[in-house]
Structure 1
Amino acid sequence: MALGQAAQPEHPQEPDHPDLSGHSDHSQHAGRPDSGPDPHRAGTSGGGTLIQNRYRLHELVGRGGMGEVWRALDESLGRRVAVKCLKPSTGHFGDAGFTRVLQERFRREARVAASLQHRGITVVHDFGDHDGVLFLVMELLDGRNLLQILDDAQRHPLPVPDISDIAEQVAAALAYTHGQGVVHRDLKPANIIRLTDGAVKICDFGIARLGHDIGFTSRLTGSGMAMGTPHYMSPEQIDAAEVDHRSDLYSLGCVLYELATGAPPFDLGDPWSILVGHRDTAPEPPRSRRPELPAEMERLILDLLAKDPEARPQDAADVCGRLKAMRAAGVAAAARRPDRLPGWARGLSTGSAARSTRVHRPAAGPHHALTGAWSTRTTTAVAAGPEALDALAARQAEAADLGRIGNWQQAYELHSAVCAERERVQGPEHPAALAGRYEAAGCLSRLGRAEEALRLYTWIAEVRGRVLGPDHDDTLAARHEAAYELGRLGRHLEAHQEYAAVLAARERTVGADDPDTLQCRHNLAVNLGRLGRAEEAYTEAALAAAGRTRALGPDDLDTLLTRCEVAYALGRLGRWGDALDAYRAVAEARARTLGAGHGDTLAARYEAGICLSRLGRSEEARGLFEELVAARTRTSGSADPETLRARHALGVSLGLLGQWDRALAEAREVAAIRERVLGPADPDTLAGKREIAVALGWLGRWAGALAVYREVADARERVLGAAHPDTLMSRTDEAHCLERLGREDEARALHRRVAARGGDGPEEL
């Protein structure tokens, strides 16, 4: 949650403080950041080379044996893209015949890659060559590849649900590509990207074979054996035998082994030993390294790692089917337990605000197991056998899958269809039918349809209250979600009343330190802050933080999130020293848990920098913001919103130190990038332009400042309206500039019009 709009200066000469940031992580395109471009390669002149009069290369974000990946702008369509540049090895450079053959093969492979249309495969938009450099234009992905995710987790294994989710999505993508006759040949964690919304994409189809043509191969011996990525090579690749789609399945087994244990199956000291391990040695069973791994998952991984392709699963669709069966078995088992709803019933909430971590208690209503009959005062269920209900559970799981990859509209439609069928066979007040409606409401929320989500959550809460009781966990969960939607709609007073009622019920039924109680208290504190009731917000946030520390530990991510809320409230109360200490403590804890370069760690450090500025410790703030700019640029790129936010704050700090020439240069560059990336009317773009005017004023260049203030005011009036507080603030800035220029009559007239708008509503200039 943002820490709020900083107070604006009374005079345009005084520099603004930037908004205090939220706690989000803006991830980069997969690929490791590099120290900088090679000046001998095309497209490296300050990251600004234009390829084919269309693709503007801005920043190098990754480099490997096959070439480089650049963050770029497609100037024809105005969209951000990733451009992968490839080049023949120097031994072939200048050989016209080789180059022609290579270019033709490149076009063939690029066409194959571009023809693949599946949600689990990175989209290839375009391809070509530029001054001898072959390039692919791909979608720019907001996520991390699996290698980075493992490294971020310090090589700790991933949670089993995450492994299953990733595996199923990769298998589905491979099933599609293998059906098209395309084999990847170099499947590895670095080529599998998990987006911020949970979707998984495979990249670099066709590039492995092309790499052999280009010359990006190494040799272990003089035997002529082509070297790929040793940790993930199939035995048939090592023996230079015929390779088909089952080689990709072996590589998938290697990837899953690494996700499940933290290390590849043959993590030996040198490439030769690794290859011998793949060819001749049985892998150590994953459960010997991680005993809690489900036996079915271990069996699948070991089947994929069979030396003989005939002993592996014969196609990716089979793998996908086995994964779905594992998940469906878990869903069905949960459905048959009388004391809780199916696992999918909470898999698609609107976020941490609605997530329950407790096991359900038996409902206080006339029901049996979910596979049995359900009767209420108003309906009589149609009999349905276990097979029909298992089929419904499988369809519900499919809807959950659609949500995980961000297809919220399809997920909503499928959830709704399944619910309609459940209502027919089990009755509309059956827990499973209500749980499905609950998930449908979550999809509506994700689609931005807050009004519809609110109506559905409210209806679910009313039915659950009547059937299960007003204090039942599921009733309170629906009321909690309804409060969340009220807040999203700006109805904060109603949200406060609902949160307070749910909190009281939670404390009464499960106690003050129950995770759901603490989540509700956290949300209540956030909402109180939105209402401007900072003292109460601080009290509730402090109570929630203390409870989460007791229940979850001081370094738990939810605990740290609430500690940030405490710091926010302290800042709103003007207790900047205490807020600084709180943010620093959170940043240190996040660095230990997530890593020093994680977005949430950097966000807490940013807040600490704001506190330093508020305390007048501008030199310390400047140093901190310079570090943050470097870190954000390294991890997210120079055009990322959080990088620009840190640069904006750096410019403000420079102004506070009287370094107005530097502050002006920084503000102009930030505003230019924001205008190009976000658009001229984006609020952040306009905030950046206002900093230009502030710096011009301090430098005595009032005519230039007036032009910029007027530009910002006109844009805000078009977008926000003449009576919006930000528009009125900009008009006041404009009036102050007129005063500085001696144009008193114009200034007084503008002040009067601002006052009229603020008191009586908008009027036309």
Structure 2
Amino acid sequence: MADTTRLIQSRYRLLDMIGRGGMGEVWRARDESLGRQVAVKCLKPMGPQHDQAFTRILRERFRREARVAAALQHRGVTVVHDFGESDGVLYLVMELLEGRNLSQLLEDNKQHPLPVADVVDIAEQVADALGYTHQQGIVHRDLKPANIMRLDDGAVKICDFGIARLGHDIGFTSRLTGTGIAMGTPHYMSPEQISGGEVDHRSDLYSLGCVLYEIATGVPPFDMDDAWAVLVGHRDTVPEPPRTHRAELPRFFDEVVLDLLAKTPGERPADAGDLRRRITLGRTGGQPEIGRVRLAPPVPVQHPGGRAYRLPSWTRNMTAGHTAGGAAGPGTAAIDQATALTGAWTTANGPAPGNSLPPGGTGRPTPPPELLATLASRHSAGLNLGRLGHWEEAGDVHRAVASEREHALGADHPDTLASRYEVGFTLSRTGRAEDALREFGRVAEGRARTLGPDHPETLAARQETAYVLGQLGRHFEAHQVYAAVLASRERSMGPDHPDTLRCRHNLAFNLSRLGRLEDSYRMAREVADARGRLLGTTHPDTLVTLYEVAYTLGRLDRWTEALQTYREVAQGRAATLGADHPDTLSARYEVGISLGRLGRSAEAMELYRALVADRTRAGGPDHPETLRARHGLGVNLGRMARWEEALDEAREVCAIRERTLGPDHPDTLVSRREVAVGLGWLGRWAEALTDYRTVAEIREQVLGADHPDTLASRNDEAHCLEQLGRSTEAVDLYRRVADLRRQRAMPPH
């Protein structure tokens, strides 16, 4: 960037790079206006791999979080002077700090712990800064040694407030419909971050405990190379007291760190202010509150009912990352990732206790780490293609990786099945539901054999089979699978686990498709309430379920409640995802539908006009969602008896849909029918008959003569014949439709 943008906004001259990280680069710069040196953090530019809507959301979130960071005024928090965008690069201007971060200090000290007095002083200063930021309602989310600076004068400052939160949002936005991505570095993540639970200020306190443990002993609480093992340690194991590593540490410090590392937030100090007071009392020789001294050796934490709370599936792709003392294990990051994915299956001693070798795996030679690293990298590339909507390309990548993994590791190896799972996912997203069903069935059977029938990965595959059954219209079979998976999830994970709630959401959706609307509404309402309580009322998962609540209310003709709920969803999504996010725009569309159903067509028409403008800006005039909004506009013009305008709108939309989607596409046929409706209201029944008949014939050819949509179109055609005075033809057609409906309703012999 220095070669092409030496001067940012005609003010900040970049001098030399002083750091590089996952979010971008940090430059020493000169503020030409004020004649002072500053630090400029340049976030990685959003290239063509991100769609325009994503980039707009990122920019808006960056501005919002930069304002949050700039509003923080405390001696222990890095001062933010300015922020903006230059040539597509988002930048943040901060005070230039002269000193070293804690990770660098440990490296300088050859991975030996810092002096005790320095450790206690750092703990007190960081607690003071966190106490201030938490009072402002700000949670850092990624506290680690690299984000804490020790200045040359001894002052301590926390860096990257706002930017850490932005990184969380970028990760979360990348796959809203997936399992979610937790922000954080494995060695410093709280148990609630790992489990996908609600994160508040006490998560920062846990991360601080990890940092203090490391600078006091030279190693993090769970010092393992395998990311999976690190995460399991955070979740299940009480760490050894720091004094077992270093006897000279004060007893009060030992107690404070162990309290910070409590597994549940409620067991940790109430807030950072309380923590700072305890450290100050301990340092000055006062009498701190009696802590919970836990000097027993590490033991597994017992979970309710003796069930192990399993890590979410996204953690299988994590690397151990870097501790303050250096890289986690030998080799490249890619090889570390491969180890995390396959270590339990490729060790010289065989599988971990309790696991069985996959069929045909006995005696299988250990694949070279380089091959595993390459396959893990290609697997990640396939996931990224899917996140960007390139499902065909993603499917090709996953099929190739699955074949090579099967050859190298065996058909039932977890990594092979992970690739097979993604193959099924891409098939379901490209309209090949039958193929996806077979693929997910294979994965579910393989995981049941190797991981067990109640393992989260097995249940995930079975849940996808239910989803695909729903795609195929086999809703009764889908209901049976969803119900069985839900029972397993509730038994093994508990009723409020995110995966359990996701299954209940899907079951509610399927109940609606089975026509069990009251049952669907009750279940969706319960899930929305549970998600709101656990995740927050504006969390995307909560809003997805509220959307389903609103949909079911509409089908129950409770349109006033549906309108209120859709508006709640639209407002929540605008606040969380941004006004131009596709999900926000979809909720606004449904608000328009509800207004129309309530006879408030003038309001609906104005809403659709605005929505058409927003959709055109976001996706272009020919985008299917732009045309969908235009269709809604035309319908409401008709409801207001503005039939000439309605007909013009319907014809334009029909022509574009026919050109872009094809003449047989369901959306094109809906528009053609709307053209016929407009012609009929204008008394042009002969022209209307041509369009009604075209729609009926295409639907009969594509869907079959007795399909409900075909029968509805034939009814339209008969009505049109009646208006033209051709009563005999109309009666014959009405009778034919009635006969087909009776035959369809008759039970099979």
TM class by smaller structure: 0.5 to 0.7
How far apart are 1:736 and its partner, in Å?
1.0
How far apart are 1:449 and its partner, in Å?
3.7
How far apart are 1:582 and its partner, in Å?
0.5
Tell me what 1:724 maps to: 707
Q: Is the 8 A contact 2:364 2:409 kept in 1?
A: no
Tell me what 1:461 maps to: 444
| Mapped partners of 1:442, 1:595: distance in 2 | 27
* Amino acid in the other structure paired with 2:402: S
Tell me what 2:61 maps to: 153
Tell me what 2:350 maps to: 373
| Mapped partners of 2:708, 2:622: distance in 1 | 28
Tell me what 2:400 maps to: 414
How far apart are 1:752 and its partner, in Å?
2.4
How far apart are 1:737 and its partner, in Å?
1.2
2:91 to 261, 264, 289: 264
1:491 to 469, 474, 484: 474
1:611 to 584, 594, 612: 594
Whether 1:647 aligns to 2:647 is: no
2:716 to 716, 722, 733: 733
Tell me what 1:221 maps to: none
Tell me what 2:79 maps to: none
For normalisation by structure 2, the TM-score amounts to 0.55
Whether 1:620 aligns to 2:603 is: yes
Whether 1:382 aligns to 2:382 is: no
Tell me what 1:36 maps to: none
Moved more, 726-735 or 366-375: 366-375
* Amino acid in the other structure paired with 1:655: G
Whether 1:292 aligns to 2:142 is: yes
Whether 1:534 aligns to 2:517 is: yes
How far apart are 1:367 and its partner, in Å?
6.7
3-state SS of 1:558 partner: helix
1:601 to 559, 584, 609: 584
Provide, for residues 465-514 of structure 1, a one-character-per-residue CA deviation record: whole Å limited to 9, x for no partner.
34433322222222212222222222211111111111112112221111
3-state SS of 2:633 partner: helix
Q: Is the 8 A contact 2:715 2:737 kept in 1?
A: yes
How far apart are 1:419 and its partner, in Å?
2.5
- Residues 679-758 of structure 1 mapped to structure 2, 5 A cutoff: 679-758=662-741
Tell me what 1:334 maps to: 227
| Mapped partners of 2:624, 2:439: distance in 1 | 34
| Mapped partners of 1:670, 1:442: distance in 2 | 32
Count matched residues.
Answer: 467
* Amino acid in the other structure paired with 1:592: A
The structure with higher relative contact order (CA 8 Å, sep 6+) is 1
Tell me what 2:648 maps to: 665
| Mapped partners of 1:291, 1:761: distance in 2 | 58
For normalisation by structure 1, the TM-score amounts to 0.54
| Mapped partners of 2:231, 2:605: distance in 1 | 59
Moved more, 478-487 or 406-415: 406-415
How far apart are 1:369 and its partner, in Å?
8.5
| Mapped partners of 2:727, 2:479: distance in 1 | 47
Tell me what 1:400 maps to: 380
Q: Is the 8 A contact 1:453 1:485 kept in 2?
A: yes
Gaps of 5+ in 2: 1-45, 67-83, 105-138, 149-183, 189-223, 233-310, 319-342
Provide, for residues 576-595 of structure 1, a one-character-per-residue CA deviation record: whole Å limited to 9, x for no partner.
11111101111111121222
3-state SS of 1:155 partner: helix
CA RMSD of aligned residues (A): 4.2
How far apart are 1:659 and its partner, in Å?
1.9
* Amino acid in the other structure paired with 1:628: L
| Mapped partners of 2:582, 2:633: distance in 1 | 18
- Residues 307-346 of structure 1 mapped to structure 2, 5 A cutoff: 333-334=226-227
Seen in structure 2, the aligned counterparts of structure 1 residues 290 and 616 have a Cα distance that, compared at 3 Å, is closer
Provide, for residues 347-402 of structure 1, a one-character-per-residue CA deviation record: whole Å limited to 9, x for no partner.
9xxxxxxxxxxxxxxxxxx97887751244955533655x8246314312312303
| Mapped partners of 1:341, 1:389: distance in 2 | 25
Q: Is the 8 A contact 1:419 1:437 kept in 2?
A: no
Moved more, 508-517 or 651-660: 651-660
Provide, for residues 138-161 of structure 1, a one-character-per-residue CA deviation record: whole Å limited to 9, x for no partner.
xxx992177534324353679xxx
Seen in structure 2, the aligned counterparts of structure 1 residues 450 and 665 have a Cα distance that, compared at 3 Å, is closer
| Mapped partners of 1:541, 1:655: distance in 2 | 34
Provide, for residues 550-609 of structure 1, a one-character-per-residue CA deviation record: whole Å limited to 9, x for no partner.
111000011101000000111111111111110111111112122233322221121111
3-state SS of 1:264 partner: strand
Whether 1:552 aligns to 2:535 is: yes
How far apart are 1:692 and its partner, in Å?
1.7
Seen in structure 2, the aligned counterparts of structure 1 residues 722 and 145 have a Cα distance that, compared at 3 Å, is closer
| Mapped partners of 2:146, 2:529: distance in 1 | 40
3-state SS of 2:599 partner: coil
Q: Is the 8 A contact 1:595 1:601 kept in 2?
A: yes
Gaps of 5+ in 1: 1-119, 123-140, 159-228, 233-254, 269-276, 299-325, 348-365
| Mapped partners of 1:377, 1:678: distance in 2 | 46
Moved more, 633-642 or 503-512: 633-642
